[in-house]
Structure 1
Amino acid sequence: MSYTKQALGNEFFVKSNDLLFEQGLNDIEINIMDWGGHSKCFFFNGDKSAIPFDIFAASFYLLSRYEEYLPHVKDEFGRFTASESIAYKHKFLHQPVVDIWAYKFKEALQKQFPDFEFPTKTYSIKPIIDVPNPYRYKLSGIMRTIGGTLKDVFRFKFKSLYTRFMVLMHFSHDPYDTFKYVINKQKQSKFRFSFFFLLGEYSTYDKGANVNNKSFISLIKHVGDYSNVGLKISYFAIDDADVLKKEKTKIEDIINKPLRASRQSFSKLNLPETYRNLIELNIKEDYTMGGYVNEIGFRAGSCTPFLFYDLDYEIQTPLKICPYHVMDFALLKHKSLLDKKRVLNNIINEVKQVNGQFVSVFHNYTLSYSDRWSGFKDLFNIILESGNNEN
């Protein structure tokens, strides 16, 4: 096999694009074409190549998030948005194109090397429970409780006022407290869930529980008896390594073992700085990359975990990126429960076709009895059943 500009003979030849031989970043022209009627591709390289495009350069472009290093318009939280991506613009965000390409590449290789054996993959799921605040009314402290009560009164939110009273008087269940339900689901599943708890200080962006509250600490320990526990990095810790280090130390003291995985608040990433901070603190996995908060799909073009490549330093790092493919908020744009189920099943099927890992992000309050999240327990069960039904 050769990967050059010109074939050397009759070998398996893939004509190369310049991308993987360059240093630094350039504003690259991307021309999209169809491949086999099922997926899109780019970096076309002509008919003489065994593959009609540079599969290595195209995969690298998507997985490294090359386009996120280039100038782009950010949203109000400083995030790279779906509408800025080539996958969204050219309508292939809904497909794990890198995995699709890999399977087609495998088929082409097998034709020329029929005796070559490839490792097999199987479909799996990785349910993520994001916990920015474990409770709606409990553990808020006196000042926040008084402030919340006054807001309910002045805004005529009497239903919320009544629920707050019933919860605080222990006559009713806190609507955000869905942990017993999720843990029962964990017990029935062969796949391990991951919970990400926010331990940052109270701020404009983060309004979690008091990190020193004994009940909150007991909850984290209890969840850790059944599922993986990771850190939901606070908004200000994303750009402040010292704050991040304090939050990491706090959760390690609670779970009594080294922190392995993280997620960023608001799914915000500043590449490459965000990931460099994680690597510096020896965090092994991150679950922030994936789809987008308001769009379902494959941000990096893949449903297979991969190692982060730092484009500025030109080095592969030990940080494993575990992309998610659907967040609960992205399903809200679909009005009916039937439409939500259809969209969810479609994205699950895309992952199943390439034997990938389906990663979903649901918040603890998503599984509450709130009108806004009506039917989301059914959607969560669809994900769990998709994994449990696999042999």
Structure 2
Amino acid sequence: MLLIYTQKITPRIVYIFKHVCTNVLGISIKFTTKIEEFIAHEGMKLSYGKQALGNELFVQKVDLLLEQGLSEVEIKVQPWGDNYCFFPVSENSALPFDIFAASFFLLSRYEEYLPHVKDDLGRFPASESVGFQEGFLKTPVVDIWAYKFKEILMERFPEISLTNREFHTRAVIAVEHVFNFQNKGFLRSLAGMHLDIIKLQFNKVLDRIQVLMRVKKDPINIFEDLIAFIKEYKVPLLFMFQLSDFSIYDRNINYNRNPYRSIIKYVGDYAEVGLMPGYFALEDFKTLRKEKLRMENTVHTPLDSVINVKYNLNIPEFYNFLSELEIPQDYSMGYPETAGFRAGTCSPFLFYDINTESTLALKIHPYVFNSNIVEHTDFGQLTSDIGKMLSEVKKVGGSFKAIFKNQDFSEYSNYQAYYALLKQIYEIR
């Protein structure tokens, strides 16, 4: 056990020390504000304050973890070995920066609460993040900092016993549309065919007719192929289905159609399934609850996971909705337009709500890569970047998560490239 002395124990301090020490490094911790107890302790101990008490292991703090609410934060990024850090402190500290305040700033998404320029969909863009602006977006700095802190602990306390985490990968298939042509109804099919003709997409006109005549399978109904991939390579895939009402934003077929429900049940026999909330569910609690119940009534198990990869993440309101509905896992933390580590980490973490200064019972699984970027990125450069990020995640025993769409593996896409990326992520030779 590591005893930590601090003059004041705040929710922020408890949250971030538990994440870095316990969640990432596997060290049990205890806090004290009593100097006498700290001095008398004969085991591992660390002080976190403005100055050391004696010759103990000391990490100097900045004020961020003592504050409440938001304030203007000055970020001065500086090199630290082969990496970067910010919130610098004096040479008396075991680390040249406040690792706990810097980690909290990234994990809490503090910068997303502050004024920023939004993109066309009202989202926080990667270009507004300190990670992008300072060149460390593609590095899991929080985990790297934690592992360097681990080295300091092992040097100072040789008796410490730490277990290494196991690296793993997981791909998520976001299913906004189960069918391209099938079960769309006469008027939608007629309008779609008219649009295809205007765009001179005669191959789609022919495909639509063949699908409607049931002589061809719907092109984006590729779930049997992905299940075959699971069986062949023994890898986990997580499928997220949308069950929202039809609207200008969400244009899937009726969630209650038997072919739709049959596909969800079929996939659920071989893989974990979750919910991709519709546009209105992200900002309306009742709508989200309705969609949650639809999924649970379809698969007959409690909903465990959700993802939002298209619209504004709406921090912290959306995460509070998930917590209230007792949905334990979220896979939305990443940038749809850029590969990288949005929260600076490749480790699952509990979400901290700065508005209420409390830790939610919601585990965030950050993703590194979204297939949206494939069409706008040189494929060779992309595979190189993914290889480098996989290597970084491996070094710290983290989790590499990637987002794909079912359309990526259809005949209307360069499916061979997407399967190649899927194999690269799972390290399938």
Partner AA of 1:61 in structure 2: F
Partner AA of 2:257 in structure 1: N
Answer whether contact 1:129 1:363 (CA < 8 A) is retained. Answer: yes
2:60 matched to which residue of 1?
15
Out of 210, 220, 223, the residue aligned to residue 166 of structure 1 is 210
Q: Distance in 1 between matches of 2:232 and 2:58?
A: 48
How much has 1:372 moved relative to structure 2?
5.1
1:2 matched to which residue of 2?
47
Partner AA of 2:264 in structure 1: I
Matched position secondary structure for 2:127: helix
1:328 matched to which residue of 2?
371
Q: Answer yes or no: is 1:383 the counterpart of 2:425.
A: yes
1:218 matched to which residue of 2?
262
Matched position secondary structure for 1:266: coil
Out of 363, 366, 369, the residue aligned to residue 405 of structure 2 is 363
The higher radius of gyration belongs to 2
2:173 matched to which residue of 1?
129
Partner AA of 2:74 in structure 1: E
Answer whether contact 2:274 2:304 (CA < 8 A) is retained. Answer: yes
How much has 1:376 moved relative to structure 2?
1.2
1:258 matched to which residue of 2?
302
1:339 matched to which residue of 2?
381
Out of 197, 201, 222, the residue aligned to residue 245 of structure 2 is 201
Q: Answer yes or no: is 1:141 the counterpart of 2:179.
A: no
How much has 1:169 moved relative to structure 2?
2.1
Instruction: Say which is worse superposed, 326-335 or 46-55, in terms of deviation.
Output: 326-335
Q: Distance in 1 between matches of 2:280 and 2:384?
A: 37
Partner AA of 1:29 in structure 2: E
1:287 matched to which residue of 2?
331
Answer whether contact 2:309 2:336 (CA < 8 A) is retained. Answer: no
* Structure 1 residue ranges, 4+ long, deviating more than 6 angstroms after superposition: none
Matched position secondary structure for 1:332: helix
Identity of aligned residues (%): 43
**Offset from partner CA, 1:20-70 (integer Å, 9 cap, x none):** 00111001010000111x211100002110011000000000000000011
Partner AA of 2:79 in structure 1: D
TM normalised by structure 2 equals 0.87
Q: Answer yes or no: is 1:276 the counterpart of 2:320.
A: yes
Out of 83, 92, 103, the residue aligned to residue 147 of structure 2 is 103
How much has 1:203 moved relative to structure 2?
1.6
1:62 matched to which residue of 2?
106
How much has 1:373 moved relative to structure 2?
5.0
Q: Distance in 2 between matches of 1:33 and 1:142?
A: 61
Out of 305, 308, 311, the residue aligned to residue 348 of structure 2 is 305
Q: Distance in 1 between matches of 2:357 and 2:163?
A: 28
TM normalised by structure 1 equals 0.95
Gaps of 5+ in 2: 1-45
**Offset from partner CA, 1:263-310 (integer Å, 9 cap, x none):** 1251521111010111111110100012x1110000000000000001
How much has 1:140 moved relative to structure 2?
1.4
How much has 1:210 moved relative to structure 2?
1.5
Q: Distance in 1 between matches of 2:129 and 2:410?
A: 33
Q: Give RMSD over aligned pairs.
A: 1.4
Matched position secondary structure for 1:246: helix
Instruction: Say which is worse superposed, 257-266 or 320-329, in terms of deviation.
Output: 257-266
Q: Distance in 2 between matches of 1:169 and 1:43?
A: 64
Instruction: Say which is worse superposed, 341-350 or 140-149, in terms of deviation.
Output: 341-350
Q: Answer yes or no: is 1:39 the counterpart of 2:79.
A: no
Partner AA of 1:7 in structure 2: A
Q: Answer yes or no: is 1:351 the counterpart of 2:396.
A: no
Q: Distance in 1 between matches of 2:373 and 2:161?
A: 39
**Offset from partner CA, 1:149-182 (integer Å, 9 cap, x none):** 1111233221221121122223333221111111
Q: Distance in 2 between matches of 1:129 and 1:34?
A: 37
Instruction: Say which is worse superposed, 372-381 or 357-366, in terms of deviation.
Output: 372-381
1:89 matched to which residue of 2?
133
Q: Distance in 1 between matches of 2:414 and 2:164?
A: 41
Answer whether contact 1:287 1:324 (CA < 8 A) is retained. Answer: yes
Gaps of 5+ in 1: none
How much has 1:191 moved relative to structure 2?
4.1
1:79 matched to which residue of 2?
123
Q: Distance in 1 between matches of 2:217 and 2:384?
A: 32
Partner AA of 1:259 in structure 2: L
Partner AA of 1:363 in structure 2: K
How much has 1:190 moved relative to structure 2?
4.4
Partner AA of 1:310 in structure 2: D
Q: Answer yes or no: is 1:156 the counterpart of 2:231.
A: no
How much has 1:374 moved relative to structure 2?
5.2
Instruction: Say which is worse superposed, 91-100 or 164-173, in terms of deviation.
Output: 164-173
